[in-house]
Amino acid sequence: MAGHKYQAPRGTFDVLPDVARTRGRIERTAAAIFARAGYEPIATPSFEDTELFERGVGHSTDIVRKEMFTFEDKGGRSLTLRPEGTAPICRAYVEHGMQALAQPVKLFYVGPFFRHERPQAGRYRQFHQLGAEAIGTDSPIADAEAIGLLADLLAELGVPGVELRLGSLGSLDARQAYLEELKAYLRAHETELAKEVRERIDANPLRAFDSNDEGTRAAMAAAPKLVERLEGEDADHFAEVRALLDASGVEYTIDPTLVRGLDYYTRTIFSFVCDRLGAQSEIGGGGRYDGLVEQLGGRPAPAVGWAAGIERIMLALDEESPAPGRDVFIAVADEESEGRSLALILAGELRKAGLSAEVDLGGRGLKGQFKHADRIGARRVVILEGGGAQLRDMSSGEQRPVDTGDLIAEITGGQA
């Protein structure tokens, strides 16, 4: 349609170069941290069978009830743009027989995820997570290691104002008695609860702790807390995770009201919040999911992991990544093609030597090329003219003849 202005869909955004550079730094820092801890990269498709998330994430969660981008393909199959990465990775773990590998299988990923939420600062419909999963271990050391990795990442990136909240949901069986107690409490306080919470007393009573409604919050202050009801192996596991975090100097606070928006969690759960983020204060979080692999058809494989929101990390960092400029721009004074092909050859040689180099792609005259070199932040300009070459330093304005064969040595001072 002539004159129509297209825009990125609501809740999505374009990652322009200034932001993409920061994102690149975050991804490189994470990849290095993961590699040093023995985590291997994995990528799964952007969409999966809808059932994977219904089963994996849980029917009673907001994600499955309201937030999935679900569509039918031309063969009538129901597919969903992935709202999270843990269920797909467990699917891949089972599908590719990773149980036969050395356990635990430690994987990391980065990529886009999709949730049909109400967009606001820090909450988007397409966002990016980086995450880590250690599948095939129930050791509390795995929990402490996973938590430590996210703490290290946020510290190394320089994210300010971060706090770690820790809780435990106990194992699935042990949780049942507590859930009955909680439901009874919620029913006794039904009139004080928000409609949404009331409607989900049976389906998802834990979410009452997560409500923003004032009445509900007041009622929940005196509600029985799961961390205070942990017994036996669940209590020991949680105590061990805490002791390991203490020993490794990771600071945390126990949050008895901590709950998460996915149904697969068992035992340890955690959340890194950041005071620079406003309402969407969670920068990353995760926990243990000992039953998920089995629920998705695999042999039982306890696991732990987390994911962090890249956009939220960037909001918290609030940093500008200016364009890096260029080491060299090669300008050609004459119209003849010889100079232009020499420029392209020289640029290739400079790039091979690790320098950034550009040539004129706009058919500009010499004056125009200088102006362009200045706009893109070139530190030096090589001018090819009449079979000879000059090297100009753009900050000092100093210009002298050079031999094109010595260009790399001239520029790097013989360091290249």
* Cα–Cα distance, 69 to 398 (Å, whole number): 59
Q: State the DSSP code for 334.
A: S
Shortest distance (Å) from residue 283 CB to ligand HAM: 5
Q: Find all residues with CB under 8 Å of 239, minimum gap 6, and list them.
A: none
Q: Is 234 left (phi over 0), alpha (psi -120 to 50) or beta?
A: alpha
Q: Which DSSP helix (H) or strand (E) runs through 164?
A: strand 162-168
Q: Which two tokens stand for residue 17?
A: 């170069």
Nearer to ligand HAM, 205 or 309 (CB): 309
Pick from 29, 61, 80, 86 the residue near ligand HAM by CB under 6 A: 86
Pick from 284, 291, 302, 339 the residue near ligand HAM by CB under 6 A: 284
Q: Please tell me whether residue 115 binds ligand HAM under the rule CB under 6 A.
A: yes
Pick from 136, 140, 205, 261 the residue near ligand HAM by CB under 6 A: 261
Q: Which residues of 291-300 are buried (b: 16+ CB within 10 A; e: fewer)?
A: bbbebbebee
Shortest distance (Å) from residue 67 CB to ligand HAM: 8
Q: Please tell me whether residue 302 binds ligand HAM under the rule CB under 6 A.
A: no
Q: Please tell me whether residue 205 binds ligand HAM under the rule CB under 6 A.
A: no
Nearer to ligand HAM, 302 or 309 (CB): 309
* Cα–Cα distance, 212 to 190 (Å, whole number): 16
Query: Closest residue to ligand HAM, Cβ-based?
Result: 309
* Cα–Cα distance, 195 to 203 (Å, whole number): 14
Contact 202, 265 (CB under 8 A): no
In terms of Cβ atoms closer than 10 Å to its own Cβ (0-12, 13-18, 19+), residue 285 is buried
Contact 56, 292 (CB under 8 A): yes
Q: Please tell me whether residue 129 binds ligand HAM under the rule CB under 6 A.
A: yes
Contact 329, 381 (CB under 8 A): yes
Nearer to ligand HAM, 70 or 390 (CB): 70
Nearer to ligand HAM, 94 or 308 (CB): 308
Pick from 307, 381, 382, 389 the residue near ligand HAM by CB under 6 A: 307
Nearer to ligand HAM, 311 or 358 (CB): 311
Q: Please tell me whether residue 327 binds ligand HAM under the rule CB under 6 A.
A: no
Shortest distance (Å) from residue 106 CB to ligand HAM: 12
Q: Please tell me whether residue 26 binds ligand HAM under the rule CB under 6 A.
A: no
Q: Please tell me whether residue 23 binds ligand HAM under the rule CB under 6 A.
A: no
Nearer to ligand HAM, 193 or 262 (CB): 262
Q: Which stretch binds ligand HAM (CB under 6 A): 124-132, 199-207, 332-340, 398-406?
A: 124-132
Q: Which of 110, 90, 108, 111 is nearest to 146 (CA)?
A: 108
Q: Please tell me whether residue 123 binds ligand HAM under the rule CB under 6 A.
A: yes
Nearer to ligand HAM, 283 or 389 (CB): 283
Shortest distance (Å) from residue 209 CB to ligand HAM: 15
Pick from 44, 69, 117, 235 the residue near ligand HAM by CB under 6 A: 117
Angle of helix 17-36 versus helix 310-317 axis, rounded to 10: 110
Q: Which stretch binds ligand HAM (CB under 6 A): 114-122, 244-252, 378-386, 391-399?
A: 114-122
Beta bridge partners of 297: none
Contact 343, 354 (CB under 8 A): no
Q: Find all residues with CB under 8 Å of 26, minimum gap 6, and list them.
A: 130, 157, 310, 313, 314
Pick from 138, 145, 311, 358 the residue near ligand HAM by CB under 6 A: 311
Shortest distance (Å) from residue 373 CB to ligand HAM: 39
* Cα–Cα distance, 193 to 99 (Å, whole number): 44
Pick from 88, 131, 291, 298 the residue near ligand HAM by CB under 6 A: 131
Pick from 127, 178, 209, 329 the residue near ligand HAM by CB under 6 A: 127
- Residue 9 main-chain phi, psi, to 5 deg: -60, 155
Number of residues binding to ligand HAM, judged by CB under 6 A: 28
Contact 393, 399 (CB under 8 A): yes
* Cα–Cα distance, 90 to 170 (Å, whole number): 21
Pick from 23, 237, 312, 372 the residue near ligand HAM by CB under 6 A: 312
Q: Please tell me whether residue 306 binds ligand HAM under the rule CB under 6 A.
A: yes
Instruction: Give SS3 for 79.
Output: strand
Residues that bind ligand HAM (CB under 6 A): 84-86, 115, 117, 122-124, 127, 129, 131, 133, 261-262, 282-287, 289, 305-309, 311-312
